[in-house]
Amino acid sequence: MGKNEIKIPDYTAEDFTNSSMPYEFLYKFKDNKFMLSQMREQMKQKAAAVGIRGFMGLWNAYLETVQAAKGVSFDNATNFEGQELELMSGKYIADDYGIVYEDKFGCEVDVCKHPIMPIQRLVNIDSGEERLRIAYKKGRFWRTLIAEKTMLASSSGILQLAANGVFVNSENAKGLSTYLLEIEQLNYEQIPEQKSVGRLGWVGEHGFSPYVENLEFDGEQSFRHIFNSVKQEGSYNEWKEIMLKMRATSLTGRIFLAASFASVLVGPCGLLPFFVHAWGGTEVGKTVGLMIAASVWASPKMGEYITTFNSTSVAQELQAGFLNSLPVCLDELQIQSSQGIKDFDKIIYQLTEGVGKARGAKTGGLQRNQTWKNCIITNGEHPISNSNSGGGAINRIIEFECEEKVYTDLPGMCDVITKNYGFAGREFIEFLQDGGVGLAQRNQRDYFKQLINSDSTDKQAGSASAILAADRIATDLIFKDGKYLTVNDMKKIMVNRKDVDVNERAYQFIFELVGRNPKKFNPDDFGEYAGEVWGVTETDCVYIIKSVFDRELKNEGFNSAAFLSWAKRNGKIAYDDQRTTKRKQIKGFNKRIPCVCIYTAEIENAFTVINDDSEEVPF
């Protein structure tokens, strides 16, 4: 390109402030952006030279005046073939060729290459957040998507619409964002507004999702299939008929049913979420039991409402938050076990807390925390708790073994409930909304008092009382067969206070440890130990070398410091002043060493000396 020979006239300060001549001169270059930029910079310097400091403001005001004088129409309307609404489009020409507008230089600017417009405003009844339902046309067909306002308001956020086929890239993102939000503001009254929800369960004064009239789902698309599965399908009578047959013979089946109904009482009764876990061998119908529980509310087909343990902890947390008041149904505990997870305390604590972890948001700050108040119903081939589970974990589980089939004809049960489902849950909710919550709360409190008078903990009694209260209402309201679960039924599958106390269990473990390894504590007739020395037994106590004690308790999942503190308070150990250990001379050590001295008087015959060549007790 040759040297620019165009010379800018020597305008005076008065020309800049009292005439339009400098601006008209610049405007002649509007069709050549490169030339316009060059000349504008030179003009800015000319203006500064004569004492004018606000040239750019004057230039922009001139452009707006020119645009207004050209008669730019703000009475345009969308003109898309097959559009759901006709909306005012302001400065935008919106037709089947796309969306364009004229900039301040009179140049046509592309916003989008195809029809696109907002057609509905969704207001979430939980959070008050707004979303827009966007309609867009690719080819001959219209499609829709739901987008958060915060996403549409950002040039980077709106790029996510490209995944749905919307023509948006880094070049037109800002323009498309402005267009969609301006169209919504121009047509605020014309665009229909709809209540929406992103989860299931109790939603305050609005009722229970998804049973609220005219309620749209605006949650994560990955959960839409679960939301859609919560419905009524088939015949209520056929479902009730097979449930009555099952209830007549199966206590296990009745527990599955009652736990499912109990889930929606957790919140109203002020309880914490809890697990109900059924375990046993194959062919007893554990999965069918889970399907029975799911069929109260939704389609019990695998992959619709029911999911498996084969998911991350974050996914399980999100699912619990989405279901919120409805039961979380997780199949096949052993899937997690096969991946090397030896215990499930972390999962139990995570899901029974009822609140998700705080996580950062992409836009800064924190994401809105997930919360839930429900029952988590699970199954597997073995218990979900074990000997070294924390007391808090055991306390949050109602666990029972499936010793007999849930129903005599398992295939027949599956056939019926996969075709007929969802009615009982809705009837149960309608009863609660029609004044039944008060009855449920009174029943739950009454059962709680009966259970807490036994050797049960508060948490166990709370969970079991919710199951009993739900069962009583469901039996009277739906089944009318008089087959109530009883307090004794629940006591048989509840744990007692000692089972929950982790220190009591550690105490029992210590005696088992000594009993299994007598030769590590008792030298032979020649005063020699067979293998590693762990300590020594005496008439009324056993001394365990402190390092061995710490190691063995840690291997079993117990905390030795916490145990010793408990044992000292409860008179279970002998100790030197201000310590939890006692020094003892052990054969093979040339001085007295720190040992844990456990009294054995409470448990006689806790161990037996075996005088043979084996190192382990033969059982």
Q: Residue 276 forms beta bridges with which residues?
A: 377, 398
Same domain for 325 and 416, yes or no, is yes
User: Average pLDDT of 439-458?
Assistant: 90
Domain count, the chain: 4
User: Average pLDDT of 126-145?
Assistant: 91
**Under 8 Å between Cβ of 415 and 537:** no
Position with higher pLDDT, 277 vs 105? 277
Rounded to whole angstroms, the Cα distance separating 568 from 266 reads: 38
Same domain for 64 and 109, yes or no, is no
Residue 610 lies in a domain: no
Same domain for 150 and 162, yes or no, is yes
* Tens of pLDDT, residues 47-68: 888 888 888 888 878 877 776 6
pLDDT confidence tier of residue 614, bands split at 50, 70 and 90: very low
* Tens of pLDDT, residues 516-531: 888 888 887 777 777 8
**Residue 566: domain span:** 502-599
Closest CA to 530 of 600, 407, 613, 451: 613
User: Average pLDDT of 126-136?
Assistant: 91
Same domain for 162 and 304, yes or no, is no
Position with higher pLDDT, 417 vs 393? 417
* Tens of pLDDT, residues 149-182: 989 999 999 999 999 999 999 999 999 999 999 9
**Under 8 Å between Cβ of 520 and 533:** yes
Q: For tokens 């007929």, what's the residue?
A: 420
Task: Using the 3D structure, point to which of 469, 499, 529 is the last residue of a domain.
Answer: 499
Position with higher pLDDT, 3 vs 542? 542
CATH of the domain at 312: 3.40.50
Closest CA to 453 of 488, 483, 485: 488
Residue 611 lies in a domain: no
Residue 207 lies in a domain: no
Rounded to whole angstroms, the Cα distance separating 69 from 64 reads: 9
CB burial class (10 A; 0-12, 13-18, 19+) of residue 51?
exposed
pLDDT over 50 at 32, yes or no: yes
Same domain for 469 and 516, yes or no, is no
The most distant pair of C-alpha atoms in the chain lies apart, rounded to whole Å, by 120
Same domain for 182 and 304, yes or no, is no
Same domain for 48 and 107, yes or no, is no
Residue 34 lies in a domain: yes
Same domain for 242 and 167, yes or no, is no
Rounded to whole angstroms, the Cα distance separating 139 from 114 reads: 9
* Distance, C-alpha 458 to centroid of its chain: 26
3-class DSSP string for 139-157: CCEEEEEEEEHHHHCCCCH
Residue 374 lies in a domain: yes
User: Average pLDDT of 82-98?
Assistant: 90
SS3 content of the chain, % helix, strand, coil (to 5): 40, 15, 40
Task: Give the pLDDT confidence score for residue 439 in this predicted structure.
Answer: 97
Same domain for 401 and 275, yes or no, is yes
pLDDT over 50 at 189, yes or no: yes
Task: Using the 3D structure, point to which of 155, 181, 196 is the last residue of a domain.
Answer: 196
**Under 8 Å between Cβ of 203 and 209:** yes
Same domain for 491 and 515, yes or no, is no
Q: 332-348 burial, b if ≥16 CB within 10 A, otherwise e?
A: bbeebbeeeeebbbebb
Apex CA 603: angle with CA 601 and CA 604, to 5°? 80
pLDDT over 80 at 144, yes or no: yes
For residue 78, what are its two tokens? 């969308």
pLDDT over 90 at 44, yes or no: no
Residue 268 lies in a domain: yes
Same domain for 569 and 479, yes or no, is no
Residue 201 lies in a domain: no
Strand, coil or helix: what is 455? coil
Same domain for 494 and 508, yes or no, is no
User: Average pLDDT of 600-607?
Assistant: 57
Task: Give the pLDDT confidence score for residue 610 in this predicted structure.
Answer: 42
**Under 8 Å between Cβ of 295 and 305:** no
Q: What percent of the chain has pLDDT over 70?
A: 89
Position with higher pLDDT, 473 vs 18? 473
pLDDT over 60 at 1, yes or no: no
Task: Using the 3D structure, point to which of 34, 50, 69 is the last residue of a domain.
Answer: 69
Residue 617 lies in a domain: no
